[in-house]
């Protein structure tokens, strides 16, 4: 009788472990829809909300207050007239910390007023803790890790001459 209970407990533990592993690696939502959500948050300057969906490793490199302060220095001033997914592929991409991860590379076409103002941007979507997250481009990760904000406006001529 005791052997039967051990086998049952082992079976239940295995099922729970496998179910837990699957939910941690394969989010159920559409990565294209998630990428559009992130693009919407960024082009509407909702950096705090966008940060919440950032990959945990990137959040460590770009803490919330630093990320929001840096990004708000260069807000998006013009709203796009169209944002749509034009492709999704599987890619292995290096996180800024040197680790490579499998991503969904979501190509998003963004049209701003005036048809010549079209941008195609790839958002890399990575599963983490059972949900989709997005990652910073490697150069941006490096800037945050070095405590630099590349969106900082250049110093004004009067400030530069006063510092000299």
Ordered strands of the 82-94 beta sheet: 82-94, 100-111, 118-128, 131-134
Per residue in 138-147, pLDDT (tens digit) is 888 889 989 8
In a domain, 93, yes or no: yes
What pLDDT is stored for residue 164 in this prediction? 43
What pLDDT is stored for residue 116 in this prediction? 76
**Two tokens, residue 43:** 């082009």
Query: Which residue range forms the structural domain that includes residue 144?
Result: 28-151
In a domain, 133, yes or no: yes
Domain count, the chain: 1
Per residue in 101-129, pLDDT (tens digit) is 899 999 999 998 976 788 999 999 999 99
> How does residue 151 score in pLDDT terms, banded at 50, 70 and 90?
low
In a domain, 13, yes or no: no
Helix, strand, coil % over all residues of the chain, rounded to 5: 45, 25, 30
């Amino acid at each position: 009788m005791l052997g039967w209970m051990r086998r049952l407990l082992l079976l239940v533990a295995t099922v729970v472990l496998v179910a837990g592993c699957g939910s941690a690696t394969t989010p159920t939502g559409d990565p294209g829809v998630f990428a559009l959500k992130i693009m919407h948050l960024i082009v509407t300057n909702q950096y705090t909300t966008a940060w919440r969906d950032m990959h945990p490793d990137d959040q460590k490199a770009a803490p919330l207050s630093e990320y929001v302060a840096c990004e708000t220095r260069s807000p998006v001033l013009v709203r796009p007239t169209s944002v749509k997914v034009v492709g999704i592929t599987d890619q292995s991409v290096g996180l800024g910390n040197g680790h490579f991860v499998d991503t969904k590379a979501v190509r998003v076409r963004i049209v701003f007023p005036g048809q010549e103002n079209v941008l195609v941007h790839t958002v890399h979507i990575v599963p983490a803790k059972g949900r989709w997250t997005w990652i910073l481009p490697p150069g941006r990760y490096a800037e945050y890790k070095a405590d630099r904000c590349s969106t900082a406006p250049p110093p004004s001529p009067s400030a530069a001459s006063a510092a000299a």
